[in-house]
A and B are shown apart, each in its own frame.
Chain A
Amino acid sequence: MAKLRSPADLEKKREQILSQRDPNKPCVTICSGTGCHVLGSDKVAEAFVSEISKNGLTAKVDVRRTGCHGFCERGPVVVMFPEGTCYLGVKPTDIPDVVSQTLVDKQLVERLLYNDSAGKTIAHERDIPFYKFQSRLVFGNNTRIDPKSIDDYIALGGYSALAKALFKMSPEEVLGEVKKSNLRGRGGGGFPAGVKWETTRNAPGDIKYVIVNADEGDPGAFMDRSLLEGNPHSVLEGLIIGAYTIGSHEGFIYVRQEYPLAVENVSVALEQARKYGLLGKDILGSGFDFDVKIHRGAGAFVSGESSALMTAIEGKVGEPRPKYIRTAVSGVWERPSNLNNVETWATVPLIINKGADWFTSIGTKGSKGTKIFSLVGKVNNTGLVEVPMGMSLRDIIYKIGGGIRKDKKFKAVQTGGPSGGCLPESLLDLPVDYDELTKVGSMMGSGGMIVMDEDTCMVDVARYFLNFLADESCGKCVPCRAGIDQMVKILNRICEGKGQPGDIELLEEICEITRDASLCALGQTAPNPVLSTVQFFRDEYKAHIDEKRCPAGVCKALVSFYIDPAKCQACQICLKNCPVQAISGAKNIVHIIDQAKCTKCGTCYEVCPQRFSAVVKVSGKPVPASPPPGTEVMRKKGKQE
Chain B
Amino acid sequence: MKLTIDGKEVEAEEGKTILEAAKSAGITIPTLCYNEKLVPYGGCRFCTVEISKGGRTRLVVSCVYNVEDGLVVKTVTPKVIKIRKMLLELMLASAPVLSELAKQYGIEKPRFQSEVTQCILCGQCVRYCAEVKKANALTFVGRGVNRRVAFVDEVVNRGVCMDCRQCYGLCPTGKIPRETDGAYFEGIRISDVLAQRRAKKH
Write out the residue numbers on chain A whose beta carbons fall within 8 Å of the beta carbon of B121.
475-476, 478, 481
Query: Does A484 lie within 8 Å of B43, measured CB to CB?
Result: no
The residue from B65, B90, B112, B142 contacting A475, defined by CB atoms under 8 A apart: B142
Question: From A320, which residue of chain B is reached at the shortest CB distance?
Answer: B42
CB distance from A378 to the nearest CB of B (A): 29
- Contact of A632 with B by CB under 8 A: no
The residue from A322, A471, A484, A509 contacting B61, defined by CB atoms under 8 A apart: A322
Question: From B144, which residue of chain A is reached at the shortest CB distance?
Answer: A473
CB distance from A495 to the nearest CB of B (A): 15
Query: Does A485 lie within 8 Å of B64, measured CB to CB?
Result: no
B-binding segment of A25-33, A252-260, A516-524: A516-524
- Contact of B104 with A by CB under 8 A: no
- Contact of B79 with A by CB under 8 A: yes
Write out the residue numbers on chain B whose beta carbons fall within 8 Å of the beta carbon of A510.
86, 90
Question: From A471, which residue of chain B is reached at the shortest CB distance?
Answer: B144
Give Cα A489–Cα B114 distance, bound, in whole angstroms: 10
- Contact of A62 with B by CB under 8 A: no
Contact flags B124-147 to A (C-beta < 8 A → 1, else 0): 000000000000000010111111
- Contact of B44 with A by CB under 8 A: yes
The residue from B45, B142, B145 contacting A518, defined by CB atoms under 8 A apart: B45
- Contact of A428 with B by CB under 8 A: no
- Contact of A300 with B by CB under 8 A: yes
Give Cα A470–Cα B145 distance, bound, in whole angstroms: 6
Q: A477-B43, A482-B90 are in contact. Are A513 and B143 (CB under 8 A)?
A: no
Question: From A519, which residue of chain B is reached at the shortest CB distance?
Answer: B42
Give Cα A476–Cα B123 distance, bound, in whole angstroms: 9
The residue from B48, B83, B147 contacting A481, defined by CB atoms under 8 A apart: B147
CB distance from B79 to the nearest CB of A (A): 7
Query: Does A486 lie within 8 Å of B60, measured CB to CB?
Result: no
Question: From A480, which residue of chain B is reached at the shortest CB distance?
Answer: B144
Give Cα A486–Cα B92 distance, bound, in whole angstroms: 12
Query: Does A517 lie within 8 Å of B90, measured CB to CB?
Result: no
Q: A324-B64, A475-B146, A481-B144 are in contact. Are A517 and B45 (CB under 8 A)?
A: yes
Q: CB within 8 Å of A: which of B34-54?
A: 40-46, 48
Write out the residue numbers on chain A whose beta carbons fall within 8 Å of the beta carbon of B65.
324
- Contact of B197 with A by CB under 8 A: no
The residue from B41, B46, B113, B142 contacting A486, defined by CB atoms under 8 A apart: B113
Query: Does B79 lie within 8 Å of A477, measured CB to CB?
Result: no
Question: From B115, which residue of chain A is reached at the shortest CB distance?
Answer: A485
Query: Does A324 lie within 8 Å of B60, measured CB to CB?
Result: yes
- Contact of B93 with A by CB under 8 A: yes
Contact flags B66-97 to A (C-beta < 8 A → 1, else 0): 10000000000001001100110011011000
Query: Does B143 lie within 8 Å of A486, measured CB to CB?
Result: no
Question: From B79, which residue of chain A is reached at the shortest CB distance?
Answer: A516
Question: From B59, which residue of chain A is reached at the shortest CB distance?
Answer: A516
- Contact of B3 with A by CB under 8 A: no
CB distance from B122 to the nearest CB of A (A): 9
The residue from B43, B64, B90 contacting A483, defined by CB atoms under 8 A apart: B90
- Where chain A touches its partner, the secondary structure class is helix
Tell which of A475, A482, A484, A512 has the most Cβ of chain B within 10 Å: A482
Question: From B111, which residue of chain A is reached at the shortest CB distance?
Answer: A506
Write out the residue numbers on chain A whose beta carbons fall within 8 Å of the beta carbon of B112.
486, 489
Query: Does A300 lie within 8 Å of B143, measured CB to CB?
Result: yes
Question: From A325, which residue of chain B is reached at the shortest CB distance?
Answer: B66
CB distance from A523 to the nearest CB of B (A): 9
Q: A470-B145, A475-B144 are in contact. Are A322 and B41 (CB under 8 A)?
A: yes
Give Cα A483–Cα B170 distance, bound, in whole angstroms: 25
Give Cα A470–Cα B147 distance, bound, in whole angstroms: 11
CB distance from A553 to the nearest CB of B (A): 27
Query: Does A519 lie within 8 Å of B45, measured CB to CB?
Result: yes
CB distance from B73 to the nearest CB of A (A): 14
Q: A322-B64, A489-B113 are in contact. Are A482 and B91 (CB under 8 A)?
A: yes
Give Cα A512–Cα B42 distance, bound, in whole angstroms: 19
Give Cα A509–Cα B89 distance, bound, in whole angstroms: 12
Q: CB within 8 Å of B: which of A517-559?
A: 517-519
Query: Does A472 lie within 8 Å of B143, measured CB to CB?
Result: yes
- Contact of A406 with B by CB under 8 A: no
Write out the residue numbers on chain A whose beta carbons fall within 8 Å of the beta carbon of B41.
322, 476
CB distance from A490 to the nearest CB of B (A): 8
- Contact of A323 with B by CB under 8 A: yes
- Contact of A479 with B by CB under 8 A: yes
Question: From B112, which residue of chain A is reached at the shortest CB distance?
Answer: A486
Write out the residue numbers on chain A whose beta carbons fall within 8 Å of the beta carbon of B66.
324
Contact flags B14-52 to A (C-beta < 8 A → 1, else 0): 000000000000000000000000001111111010000
Query: Does A517 lie within 8 Å of B42, measured CB to CB?
Result: no
CB distance from B91 to the nearest CB of A (A): 6
Write out the residue numbers on chain A whose beta carbons fall within 8 Å of the beta carbon of B171.
none
- Contact of A474 with B by CB under 8 A: yes
Q: A300-B143, A473-B145 are in contact. Are A482 and B40 (CB under 8 A)?
A: no
Query: Does B87 lie within 8 Å of A478, measured CB to CB?
Result: yes
The residue from B42, B45, B143 contacting A471, defined by CB atoms under 8 A apart: B143
Query: Does B145 lie within 8 Å of A484, measured CB to CB?
Result: yes
Write out the residue numbers on chain B whose beta carbons fall within 8 Å of the beta carbon of A477.
42-45
Give Cα A486–Cα B86 distance, bound, in whole angstroms: 11
Q: A473-B144, A506-B111 are in contact. Are A478 and B64 (CB under 8 A)?
A: no
A and B contact pairs by CB, cutoff 8 A, 11 listed: A322-B40, A324-B64, A472-B144, A473-B145, A476-B41, A476-B121, A477-B43, A477-B45, A506-B111, A517-B48, A519-B45
Given contact pairs A471-B143, A486-B90, A513-B83, a sample of 8 additional A-B residue pairs in the complex whose CB atoms are under 8 Å apart: A322-B40, A324-B64, A471-B146, A478-B46, A478-B121, A479-B45, A509-B86, A516-B59
Report, nearest first, the 9 A-B pairs whose CB atoms are least far apart.
A322-B42, A475-B147, A482-B90, A473-B144, A513-B86, A485-B145, A517-B45, A322-B64, A475-B144
A residues within 8 Å of B by Cβ?
Answer: 300, 317, 322-324, 469-479, 481-486, 489, 506, 509-510, 512-513, 516-519
